[in-house]
A = this chain, B = another copy of it.
């Protein structure tokens, strides 16, 4: 039998990637990346720093351009390669990134009447314009649907589906009224590729529906009409137009259309797997299983673990969600995350722009510092806090600056802040009985920043392993494609064949870990003081403790 390949399409915040993979061993044959054309690095911004949108035209053009490029590269690098050997496509995306569509499932953004109207675009995951609606949904949910709220950690986020739709309803009613429904980017792309955008053919993924739209078979799918109508009768009415078919990633949504086959050079009819979020398919690409925490660390993180759905599982406050089958069929998917990691480093490099301050230069400077040496401590909240506070109305904080504080010191403090955020998530899992035996990291930051990985090891006191693949979400999408194409009988078999770890492991070092235990307790004080209503106390010692640690380390 000749080799079989699948393609994973990975839709990130700024670009889309196509990864062509050998289903036998996960070997990555070809990669192509294309940056979105609209907005600032693919993100449409406005004077409101909460607004972040994308143009769906970028999603379609991105699929075409990257698939064509990946096939061309595969032809060059594998002797005898034929596009006909590609047996399936998988798709992963950011999310919740919903977009309004008409009764044919076509994005409203494609209509002339809505060109220039940001409400008709896709509402990117990190769009936080809907914070008031999120608070409203949370309040009502806690009041009348506590069982639903318990599964999403007790707080509905401004990053999520209904918050964004409700904000659109109130601030851009012309768009809301013109929309037949709203669909997630993760579902839009597979449907577009297979010609199944129209509602009667459409399939949604359990990943997005479960984690962001509170879909759960336990209460009959999407939240009931009465609940949604209390938020707004029009939102209640929208429920009738939400997807009827919701599936896990072991299902196919359909076959590639002739039109897309012609555009790309792929065979028509090959299956396209149900789409899922980058983190969830990334977790699969990183070899997720019970006891393993997969951290996908890029602009933000998703922290994913799974637990057999036959076992008892408490609701974990502050998690983004617990959804059966959202990662692997037969397992609860538990999702946590940090609203910004790489984005915080990028803010410092790209907005503050310290002189000579490339990521490389700042990393080199930061690597020369000992833990505590700068006297700085930061909160990693420049984009709010997803887990465990689930509060987008939090912001960054830096404390400990002197008249001599350098950019490298600040950069290291920002890395450390994200490590403290990561530890807070691990602690939260374990506090609620979800044991973490191993941490596997993937994503851009895990790949590119050994310093960050070492700091994570030293802060958490746990080894940091790295996924063998540098493109885990795309690999996970390709694995889903391999399963729906029948190249592997199930995910366990496909993961065993196609995933692995790098041999280099970042081990925690005792001295730095001891200092970081002290610093984390200060972080946790600030975290609780600024982030929770329950905290009562005094911060008189915060700056002094940082100085004490600094003086001790510098000796």
Contacts and interface: CB of A to CB of B under 8 A. Distances in A.
Interface in A317-368: 340, 343-344, 346-347, 351-357
A531 interface: yes
A393 interface: yes
A451 to B, nearest CB: 20
A402 interface: yes
A401 interface: yes
Contacts of A353: 354-357, 407
A397 B375 CA distance: 12
A535 B539 CA distance: 8
Residue of A393, A395, A539 contacting most chain B CB atoms (<10 Å): A395
A396 B402 contact: yes
Contact of A49 (B381, B404, B410, B533): B404
A351 B404 contact: yes
Contacts of A529: 529, 538-540
A155 B244 CA distance: 71
Nearest to A542: B530
A87 B547 CA distance: 50
Nearest to A396: B401
Contacts of A401: 347, 382, 395-398
A382 B403 CA distance: 6
Contacts of A398: 396-399, 401
A554 interface: yes
A458 B530 CA distance: 28
Contact of A546 (B395, B535, B542, B554): B395
Interface in A503-555: 529-533, 535-540, 542-544, 546-547, 554
A201 to B, nearest CB: 38
Contacts of A352: 352, 354, 405-407, 410
Given A49-B375, A381-B543, A393-B547, 11 more contacts: A47-B554, A126-B403, A347-B401, A351-B404, A352-B407, A353-B407, A354-B354, A354-B355, A396-B398, A396-B399, A530-B540
